[in-house]
Structure 1
């Protein structure tokens, strides 16, 4: 009588395991870059303090005149200005590029005098962009019907709310360049807002005005 022998499966050779691992790695490498949930750029290094600032302009005007020009520049572009002093101007503007996506941009300009005399001012501009999406929230409640007893009927409703999903400082050089072009245009047309310097009147002229007499012609 011949007995059939069962052969146990052979373990995979090391070379076969290497081929299988290589195939899996190549499959992962072909994943699309837009695959959701894949955080590819885990390291983040801000490109700050490189010496080439796009946020600063040096203006040959007083501090008050500089901030007033910044206020008018924001107003001319539809910004809602909520802060306007001789040192700081800030305003917001809202965008809705898609039905369920909203953006809020807040622009801030700080006016800092340079040296003495209030004849030159540094203007520092920065913009913060916040991104919001619409999220649906289900609200459930119970409605009691007293006429037929203590029966509760579930009532559900859906509300839309804006949820903040991101916040970032605007770093587009053209954005700031366009702002400063409009800003410098207003600096050039604004009158000097500083109060006029009072020149002292000579004593002889003051006494003549008080007496109502005419002064002798100047030689």
Structure 2
């Protein structure tokens, strides 16, 4: 019985190329598809949500001088475990560290600025901005080379690794409840009677007055001869 002829290699190659062309066309169409073509709106940029309204939680007025307000803010942050990384007369900053997961780290930073009120000299405004830096642990396994006379040098992986923190994101905290908790603690510290730190006295640069010696003492009298 005569067997049917086998398809030639050129025919199979043409079929394979045709399939590859169809797949490439489908991938191109999928990549060029936009949310608008699929019936959805394109995502808005992050700055589009900025409203710049007066109800933002980043400022609060308190009774007190700006220096006293910043001193109260410094004590409030210290009482919650924050490390003060910068401190000036009318501003300070602090950081606190968290590890929500084994391979993830978060640094919470707070910046505080204090200003006086133009209309009321007995009140001041505290401006607070908080943000979080997100890090992940990147592990770099180390390798060691072992010399073998028959095969040369062979690189073998070891269990030791060099870990490093890689910053993957930063975000400003806009949660109003977060700032309300800080303002509540700041008000409690102010109610305890915190005042502005006393200014450090600057030593005088004028040279000290030198005591003027009195008139030379007369030499001791010679006892009279006998």
TM range (shorter): 0.5 to 0.7
Distance in 1 between residues matched to 2:141 and 2:51, nearest whole Å: 43
Separation in 2 of the partners of 1:80 and 1:95? Answer: 13
Q: CA RMSD in A?
A: 2.9
Aligned partners of 1:63 and 1:128: how far apart in 2?
Answer: 23
Task: From the CA coordinates, give the structure whose radius of gyration is larger.
Answer: 2
Q: Give a deviation string over 1:52-85, Cα, whole Å, max 9, x none.
A: 1211111111111000000011111111112122
- 2:56 match: secondary structure: coil
How many residues end up aligned between the 2 structures? Answer: 157
What is the CA–CA distance in structure 1 between the aligned matches of 2:195 and 2:98, rounded to whole Å? 35
Residue 129 of structure 1 is matched in structure 2 by 132
For structure 2, list consecutive stretches of 5 or more residues without a partner in the other structure: 1-29, 36-41, 199-226
Aligned to 1:66: 69
Match of 1:96 in 2: 99
Q: Distance in 1 between matches of 2:105 and 2:78?
A: 21
TM-score relative to the length of structure 2: 0.60
Q: CA deviation at 1:154?
A: 1.8
How is 1:1-219 mapped onto 2 (pairs within 5 angstroms)? 41=43, 43-44=45-46, 45-115=48-118, 119-143=122-146, 151-157=152-158, 158-193=161-196
Deviations, residues 79-100 of structure 1 (Å, cap 9, x unaligned): 1112122211110011111111
Q: Distance in 2 between matches of 1:83 and 1:184?
A: 22
In structure 1, stretches of 5+ residues that fail to align are 1-23, 30-39, 196-219
* TM-score for both structures, normalised by structure 1: 0.62
- CA contact under 8 A between 1:90 and 1:106: conserved in structure 2? yes
Q: Please report how far the alpha carbon of residue 136 of structure 1 lies from its aligned counterpart in structure 2 after TM superposition.
A: 1.9
Tell me if the contact between 1:132 and 1:163 (Cα under 8 Å) persists in the aligned partners.
yes
Q: Is the 8 A contact 1:63 1:87 kept in 2?
A: yes
- What SS is found at the alignment partner of 1:49? coil
Q: Distance in 2 between matches of 1:75 and 1:108?
A: 13
* Deviations 1:14-57, CA, capped at 9 Å, x for gaps: xxxxxxxxxx9xxxx9xxxxxxxxxx745432334022121111
Change (3 A) 1:186 1:141: same
Counterpart of 1:16? none
Distance 2:66 2:186 in 1: 14
Question: CA distance change for structure 1 residues 56 and 71 in 2, over 3 Å: closer, same or farther?
Answer: same
